[in-house]
Amino acid sequence: MLAKVYSAAVYGVDAYEVEIEVNAASGNPVIVVVGLPDAAVKESKDRVTTAVANSGYRWPKGRTTINLAPADVKKEGPSFDLPIALAMIAAAEQITLTDFAQYCFVGELALDGSVRSVNGVLPVALEARRCAKKAIIVPEANAQEAAVVEGITTYGVRNLRQTFEFLRGNDTLQPVVANLRMEELPDYDVDFADVRGQHAAKRAIEVAVAGGHNLLMIGPPGSGKSMLAKRIPTIMPPMSFDEAIDVTKIHSICGFLSEKRSFLTLRPFRSPHHTISDAGLLGGGSNPAPGEVTLAHHGVLFLDELPEFRRSTLEVLRQPLEDSKVTISRASGSLTFPAELVLVAAMNPCPCGFFGDLKRECRCSSVQVQRYRQRISGPLLDRIDIHVEVPAVQFKELTATQPAEPSNAIRERVLAARVIQQQRFESTPKTRCNARMGSKPLKQHCVLDESSLELLRTAMHELNLSARAHDRILKVARTIADLEGAPNIDAAHLSEAIQYRTLDRNLWT
Ligand SMILES: [Zn+2]
- How many angstroms is it from 370 CA to the middle of ligand 1? 11
Distance 362 CA to ligand 1 centre (A): 4
Q: How far is the CA of 313 from the centre of ligand 1 (A)?
A: 24
Report the separation in Å between the CA atom of 352 and the middle of ligand 1, taken as the mean of its atom positions.
4
From the CA of 509, how far away is ligand 1's center (Å)? Answer: 16
Closest by Cα among 45, 117, 127, 126 to 88: 45
CA of 369 to the centre of ligand 1 (A): 7
Q: What is the CA(353)–ligand 1 centre distance, in A? A: 5
- Contacts (Cβ under 8 Å, ≥6 apart) of 272: 280, 281, 292, 301, 303
Distance 508 CA to ligand 1 centre (A): 15
Q: Which pLDDT value is given to residue 416?
A: 97
Neighbours of 47 (CB within 10 A): 18
Instruction: Kindly compute the dihedral angle of the four CA atoms of residues 5, 9, 14, 19, in this order, to the nearest 10 degrees.
Output: -30
Q: Please name the residues in contact with 345: beta carbons below 8 A apart, sequence gap of 6 or more.
A: 214, 215, 216, 217, 302, 303, 304, 306, 384
Alpha helix positions (H), 32-75? 39-54
Mean pLDDT of the chain: 89
Strand runs labelled E in 287-367: 289-290, 300-303, 325-330, 333-338, 342-347
pTM of the complete model: 0.88
Reply yes or no on whether the pLDDT at 180 is more than 80: no
Distance 348 CA to ligand 1 centre (A): 9
CA of 372 to the centre of ligand 1 (A): 10
Which pLDDT value is given to residue 473? Answer: 95
- Whether residue 72 is predicted with pLDDT greater than 80 in this model: the reply is no
Q: What average pLDDT does the segment 329-357 reach?
A: 88
Give me the mean pLDDT over the 226-237 stretch: 94
**DSSP per residue over 72-117, as a string?**
TS-B-SSTTHHHHHHHHHHHHHT---TTGGGEEE--EE-TTSBEEP
Q: What are the phi and psi torsion angles at 190 (to 5°)?
A: -120, 160
Element (H, E) at 413: helix 407-424
Q: Which of 254-263, 288-297, 391-400, 401-410 has the lowest mean pLDDT?
A: 391-400
| CA angle centred on 264, ends 259 and 268, rounded to 5° | 130
Q: What is the pLDDT of residues 375-389, one digit of tens each?
A: 888 888 889 999 999
CA distance 122 to 139: 12
What's the 378 CA to ligand 1 centre distance in angstroms? 21
Nearest one of 17, 39, 41 to 123, comparing CA atoms? 17
What per-residue confidence (pLDDT) applies to 1?
Answer: 82
Q: How far is CA 77 from CA 116, 212, 225, 254, 443, in A?
A: 13, 37, 42, 13, 48
Bridge-based pairing of strands 103-105 and 333-338 is: unpaired
Residue 178: predicted pLDDT: 83
Residue 121, judged by CB atoms within 10 A of its CB (0-12, 13-18, 19+), counts as buried
Q: What is the pLDDT of residue 509?
A: 56
Q: Distance, CA 361 to ligand 1 centroid (Å)?
A: 8
* Res. 392 pLDDT band, cuts 50 70 90: confident
Facing residues of 303 across strands?
345
Task: Give distance in angstroms: CA of 207 to centre of ligand 1.
Answer: 29
Provide the terminal-to-terminal Cα distance of the chain, rounded to the nearest Å: 76
If you measure from the C-alpha of residue 250 to the centroid of ligand 1, how many angstroms do you get, rounded to a whole number?
A: 41
Q: What is the pLDDT of residues 411-440, one digit of tens each?
A: 999 999 999 999 999 988 788 899 999 989
Per-residue confidence at 286, pLDDT binned at 50, 70, 90? confident
Return the exposure string of 2-27: e unless at least 16 CB atoms fall within 10 Å of the residue's CB, then b. Answer: ebbbbbbbbbbbebbbbebbbbbeee
What separation in Å is there between the alpha carbon of 360 and the centre of ligand 1?
A: 10
CA of 84 to the centre of ligand 1 (A): 63
359 C-alpha vs ligand 1 centroid, how far in Å? 13
Provide the pairing of β-strand 333-338 with 115-116. Answer: unpaired
- Per DSSP, 146 falls in state H
**pLDDT above 90 for 45:** no
- From the CA of 220, how far away is ligand 1's center (Å)? 9
Eight-state DSSP code of residue 71: T
> Rounded to the nearest whole angstrom, what is the distance from the C-alpha of residue 354 to the centroid of ligand 1?
5
